[in-house]
């Protein structure tokens, strides 16, 4: 591809953007991204982006509405500055939970978000561990769906001795199986009854026994922490030794960090740096900046992305 590759960072996670720029040896575009006095997002691109291949790095985590709007306005500024192609690099893709009509009179927010991306001039999306893979079918726009499991496996390989890999709910079963295969170990799933979006009750642990075994739970999102912590409690009560969790997206809203720190059942939580967040005595970080840097270079060059996580 003849066009120059450029990166631009929103304000959602500048540390990740800088790490990606350093690992891809690509400079970040000089831009002024702030707010007017009334809180509206203000953007000015100071570099020439005409006919360039521009990647906007902006995870759309909390505050979700502000970060999405900032991404849209940056993209509109790039489109009006004649950028050749605009790719939204959203390591965490917000509004992915409402991906279908599962009740009367509810929206499909994920579809709306993708529509807004297209309207703003975004021509491609690069995301990591989408909460709902069917989001890729909401648009004719190409979506490069990256998987963090190889990065997580490589980081966790020597942390626990031959652990049982556990999905904290049925939805995480495929991820648990994939990680277990890479680590050549056993796996299980926590079967829970979800009462509402905050309360769950563990019914059973299906699969390999966790008695007198270390456990590594894997999932895509930890938000309030309730699901992971209730699963950790059930695992410890069934004889598990150390219980660790490795989660792609550490949303960690409300008092989730305090709940994790206080839990007598979860021994350690690892989250990737797809979103900004704290590092504490019980919360560690796994960087996906190398994965994203390599994906950006491959997308720009028209090369395979799947080879990065096979």
Per-residue pLDDT for the chain (310 aa), expressed as one digit of tens each? 458 999 999 999 999 999 999 999 999 999 999 999 999 999 999 999 999 999 999 999 999 999 999 999 999 999 999 999 999 999 999 998 888 888 899 999 999 999 999 999 999 999 999 988 888 888 889 999 999 999 999 999 999 999 999 999 888 999 999 999 999 999 999 997 766 655 666 778 999 999 999 999 999 999 999 999 999 999 999 999 999 999 999 999 999 999 999 999 999 999 999 999 999 999 999 999 999 999 999 999 999 998 887 6
Q: Tell me whether the omega of the peptide bond preceding residue 63 falls within 30 degrees of 0, making it cis.
A: yes
How many other CB atoms sit within 10 Å of the CB of residue 228? 27
Is 105 buried (19+), middle (13-18) or exposed (0-12) by CB count in 10 A? Answer: exposed
Residue given tokens 């190398």 in the structure block = 290
Q: Read off the DSSP letter of residue 47.
A: S
Identify which of 81, 93, 67 has the alpha carbon closest to the alpha carbon of residue 121: 81
Contact 28, 46 (CB under 8 A): no
Q: How far apart are the first and last CA of the chain?
A: 25
**pLDDT for the residue numbered 100:** 86
CA of 216: how far to CAs of 30, 178, 266, 282, in Å?
42, 13, 10, 14
Nearest in space to 207 (alpha carbons), one of 237, 180, 184, 225: 180
d(CA 46, CA 123): 22
**CA atoms of 5 and 116, how far apart (whole Å):** 24
Architecture of domain 5-147+289-308: 3-Layer(aba) Sandwich (3.40)
Residue 180 CA to residue 153 CA, distance in Å, equals 9
Out of 52, 111, 192, 236, pick the active-site residue: 192
Fold matches, 5-147+289-308 and 149-286: yes
pLDDT of residue 277: 95
CA-CA-CA-CA torsion sign (30, 87, 172, 156): negative
User: What's this model's pTM, rounded to 2 decimal places?
Assistant: 0.94
How distant is the alpha carbon of residue 47 from its chain centre? 29
pLDDT value, residue 199? 61
- CATH topology for 149-286 is Rossmann fold (3.40.50)
Domains of the chain, residue spans = 5-147+289-308, 149-286
pLDDT of 1 reads 45
- CA dist 2 and 84 (Å) reads 11
Is 268 among the residues known to form the active site?
Answer: no
Pairing of strands 41-45, 31-35: antiparallel
pLDDT of residue 136: 85
């Amino acid at each position: 591809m003849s066009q120059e590759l450029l990166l631009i960072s929103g304000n959602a996670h500048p540390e990740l953007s800088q790490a990606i720029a350093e690992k891809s040896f690509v400079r970040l575009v000089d831009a002024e991204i702030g707010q007017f006095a009334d809180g509206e997002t203000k953007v000015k691109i100071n570099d020439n982006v005409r006919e360039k291949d521009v990647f906007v790095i902006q995870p759309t985590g909390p505050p979700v509405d502000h970060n999405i709007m900032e991404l849209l306005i940056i993209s509109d500024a790039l489109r009006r500055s004649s950028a050749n192609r605009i790719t939204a690099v959203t390591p965490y893709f917000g509004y992915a939970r409402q991906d279908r009509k599962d009740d009367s009179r509810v929206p499909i927010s994920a579809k709306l978000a993708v529509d807004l991306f297209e309207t703003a001039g975004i021509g491609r999306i690069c995301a990591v561990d989408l909460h709902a893979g069917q989001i890729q079918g909401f648009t004719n726009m190409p979506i490069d769906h990256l998987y963090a499991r190889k990065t997580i496996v490589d980081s966790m390989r020597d942390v626990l001795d031959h652990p049982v890999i556990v999905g904290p709910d049925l939805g995480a079963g495929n991820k648990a199986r994939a990680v277990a295969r890479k680590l050549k170990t056993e796996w299980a799933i926590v079967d829970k009854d979800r009462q509402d979006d905050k309360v769950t009750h563990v019914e059973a642990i299906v699969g390999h026994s966790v008695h007198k075994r270390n456990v590594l739970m894997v999932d895509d999102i930890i938000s309030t922490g309730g699901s992971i912590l209730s699963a950790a409690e059930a695992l410890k009560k069934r004889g598990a030794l150390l219980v660790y969790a490795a989660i792609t997206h550490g949303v960690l809203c409300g008092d989730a960090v305090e709940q994790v720190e206080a839990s007598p059942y979860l021994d350690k939580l690892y989250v990737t740096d797809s979103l900004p967040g704290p590092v504490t005595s019980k919360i560690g970080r796994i960087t996906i900046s190398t994965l994203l840097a390599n994906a950006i270079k491959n997308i720009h060059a028209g090369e395979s992305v799947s080879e990065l996580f096979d």
